[in-house]
Chain A
């Protein structure tokens, strides 16, 4: 008999999350819209037809930099101010050929140099963890390269 009569649940209860998990998406949307209506009725709004904003294809700029390709404002001639002359070369070279400049500035470390660095790196980092007694193994010879590690001296038993 209880199945015939559906218990009347309050609106607030139905709005709770655990009650809505069981609903399908359509009823959920309907509920959401009803909620929005309730909120929006309290909000004030202008009763005007929707104005479509015209997309403007004209951009207004007041600067002459876009229009004309102007040189840099500071100039020096015949070596009067060497710093400004250096700056002139940099800025005006950038003007002309940007891509070419980028390629030449990048200096790559050659592979040989990398290998050399790594060789000595082992010694230098090793020094950090060596104890005082082991410092003898890390002495540098005339070139500044670390000497190869010598065999460790073991304890020699005295012969009588």
Chain B
């Protein structure tokens, strides 16, 4: 009983900032400060050890670091704002520093620029459609932002249709705006999603897990039967298969796979493959 109390007291009293490098992969809580690699050298190990001699003490070469979702800039350090595991990605080409972010889990989506989402058209007013994307406000979608749309040639979009598009404007001060074309003017798979199928909601973390490049779940699901899936970064998944039963099986698998271990998953898939 004494341990947790002392740990908490220590934390509140001193709260020494930890080096980001040492905390990678561990759970971090909101309010923690993290030191970037260049800073920890200067701080020294608590002042007790010897400072290493550096040739140019004044000019420290600093690299650009990107702080991703769950982190904020606080002076020279990173401040954690969401609880989750700290992750880091090395820079691929040249411009250094890499990306730090917190792998957190939540169900509520906040619109972010560049995200591809599934929206439901709720209203048609004048030249724009109001699309519900699960955020605090419905996003606006202009009728000209479809491939091959002109003032005379309007897209065939009705209230209640499903739209797959991306955000061009998404910040806390303005209403989010989305489009269904890319910067070249091509649809690239965006636009109205076809008839039938089933739309259901999952957590945001699951979407990212399923869209990871080496996701086994998607590969195994793809071997079952012909199907089509659309993932929206706002936690919505649309699935369609040949029969209603197959569609429902698919939806159940995707919802449940968040909490299953890989063994349980393999069992279920083998059972399905038999039947």
The answer to whether B265 has its CB under 8 Å from any CB of chain A is no
Contact check, B211 vs A74: say whether CB atoms are below 8 A apart: no
Contact check, A73 vs B67: say whether CB atoms are below 8 A apart: no
Number of B residues near A (Cβ < 8 Å) is 49
- Least distance between B244 CB and chain A CB atoms (Å): 15
**Cα separation A63 to B168 with both chains bound (whole Å):** 12
Extra A-B contacts (12), CB below 8 Å, given A63-B112, A66-B66, A75-B228: A58-B66, A58-B76, A59-B65, A60-B71, A61-B67, A63-B68, A64-B69, A64-B233, A68-B208, A73-B211, A80-B227, A87-B188
Which residues of A (61-101) have their CB < 8 Å from a CB of B?
61-81, 84, 87, 91, 95
Our count of residue pairs bridging A and B at CB distance below 8 angstroms stands at 118
Contact check, A60 vs B67: say whether CB atoms are below 8 A apart: yes
**Cα separation A72 to B208 with both chains bound (whole Å):** 11
Contacts of A75 in B (CB 8 A): 218, 222, 228-231
Contact check, A59 vs B66: say whether CB atoms are below 8 A apart: yes
Contact check, A78 vs B115: say whether CB atoms are below 8 A apart: no
Question: Which of A68, A80, A81 has a CB less than 8 Å from the CB of B212?
Answer: A68
The answer to whether B87 has its CB under 8 Å from any CB of chain A is yes
- Least distance between A97 CB and chain B CB atoms (Å): 14
Contact check, B213 vs A71: say whether CB atoms are below 8 A apart: yes
Which residues of B (152-191) have their CB < 8 Å from a CB of A?
164, 188-189
Interface of A is mostly: loop
Contacts of B89 in A (CB 8 A): 67-68
Contact check, B227 vs A67: say whether CB atoms are below 8 A apart: no
Nearest residue in A to B72 (C-beta to C-beta)? A60
Q: How large is the interface on A (under 10, 10 to 19, 20 to 34, 35 or more residues)?
A: 20 to 34
Most chain A CB atoms below 10 A, which of B87, B233, B242: B233
Q: Could you list some 11 contacts between A and B, CB below 8 A? A: A57-B64, A59-B65, A59-B67, A60-B67, A61-B69, A64-B101, A64-B112, A67-B99, A71-B211, A77-B222, A78-B226
**Cα separation A50 to B189 with both chains bound (whole Å):** 52
Nearest residue in B to A86 (C-beta to C-beta)? B189
Contact check, B64 vs A62: say whether CB atoms are below 8 A apart: no
Contact check, A72 vs B189: say whether CB atoms are below 8 A apart: yes
**Cα separation A64 to B36 with both chains bound (whole Å):** 20
- Least distance between A65 CB and chain B CB atoms (Å): 6
Contact check, A61 vs B68: say whether CB atoms are below 8 A apart: yes
Contacts of B211 in A (CB 8 A): 70-71, 73
